[in-house]
Amino acid sequence: MDDLIIAGEKFSSRLIMGTGGAPSLEVLDQALVASGTELTTVAMRRLDPASRGSVLDVLRRRGIKVLPNTAGCFTAGEAVLTARLAREALETNWVKLEVIADERTLLPDPIETFDAAERLVADGFVVLPYIGDDPALARRLEQAGCAAVMPLGAPIGSGLGIRNPHNIELIVEAASVPVILDAGIGTASDAALAMELGCDAVLLATAVTRAQRPDLMATAMKEAVVAGRLARQAGRIPRRRYAEASSPMTP
């Protein structure tokens, strides 16, 4: 499979993992290894990056790049502050920008997100914003200098899959930065579909961490992302109403 390139950095895995919801660090560790991920998000709120033995140590030990996220922020101001603290503590200028509109749906707030993205790009960050499946907003964020766009398939933790595949396709068509399907993945076929629609990568957490066997689901996701990518590159056949014999009916 070809490499994923974000802001000039290469990744051979197109599966980006989140760490939320894991029952223990050991379960998380096994799932991350099984997933083959090279990039993993960590919520910076309520995490002291200096403390030993935390989730950050698991990532460091496995050589997985840390992508700090601003989960839990409701305003652009909080998100910018959280990103700066993360940059200082983790020595990375990458940030997954996440500004939430309300606690019930956890849907991203487009206005605060755009505001924060502009400020963070100006401050030299590599910004990967989490957004709704809105092609217009995705386009604007790309123009504002974001390194990727991360539209949702469905609300965080819902496992509802990709509710509007058409919009994801529109975002992919228009984008010249990587499109990362973020949130909503429930099972492996959802991840494969995201890649078949043309997404460059998939980000997921709950689907793996809350599965009955997280390590097994992580393996399934890894394979699904590869399968979806290969299918996209191979080019699917057109859909037909009636059968077309695959071998000649008559000699």
Partner 1 sequence: MDVIVGGGVVGLSIAWRLARAGRPVTVVDPAPGRGASYAAAGMLAPVSEVTYTEVPLLRLGVASLRRWPGFAAELADDAGLEPGGLDLRSDGTLDVAFGADDMAVLDEMAAYLDKLGLPVERLTGRECRRLEPMLAPSVRGGLLAPGDAWVDPRRVTAALLAALERRAVPVVRERAAGLLHDGDGAVVGVRLETGGELRAERVVLAAGAWSTELAGVPVRPVKGQIMRLRSPQPLLGRCVRGAVHGASVYLVPRGDGELVVGATQEEMGFDTRVTAGGLYELLRDARELVPGVTELEVSDVVAGLRPGTPDNLPLIGPSGTQGLVYATGHHRGGVLLAPLTTAVLMGEESELAALCAPGRFRDFS
Q: Catalytic positions, please?
A: 96
* Helical spans, DSSP H, in 175-250: 188-196, 206-209, 214-234
Q: How far is the CB of 27 from partner 1 (least distance, A)?
A: 5
147 within 8 A of 6, measured Cβ to Cβ: yes
Which residues on adjacent β-strands are paired with residue 131?
151
* Pick 47 or 230: Cβ nearer partner 1: 47
Q: Where in 188-217 is the site for partner 1 (CB under 8 A)?
A: 211-214
Contact residue for partner 1 among 8, 50, 240, 242 (CB under 8 A): 50
The span of 8-16, 47-55, 125-133, 165-173 binding partner 1 (CB under 8 A) equals: 47-55
Q: How far is the CB of 63 from partner 1 (least distance, A)?
A: 16
Note the Cα 121 to chain centre separation in Å.
Answer: 19
Contact residue for partner 1 among 7, 25, 230, 231 (CB under 8 A): 25
Please give the annotated binding residues for 1-deoxy-D-xylulose 5-phosphate, written as ranges: 157, 183-184, 205-206
CA angle at residue 32 from 230 to 185, to 5 degrees?
A: 55
Give residue 103's identity as a one-letter amino acid code.
E
In the numeric block, which tokens belong to residue 76? 């652009």
Residue 72 CB: number of other CB atoms within 10 A? Answer: 17
101 near partner 1, judged by CB under 8 A: no
Q: Could you tell me the CA-to-CA distances from 42 to 11, 57, 72, 86, 133 in Å, in that order?
A: 18, 12, 12, 10, 22
47 near partner 1, judged by CB under 8 A: yes
* Pick 51 or 246: Cβ nearer partner 1: 51
* Pick 19 or 37: Cβ nearer partner 1: 19
Residues of the shown chain interacting with partner 1 in the complex, contacts defined by CB under 8 A: 23-27, 29, 46-48, 50-55, 103-104, 157, 211-214
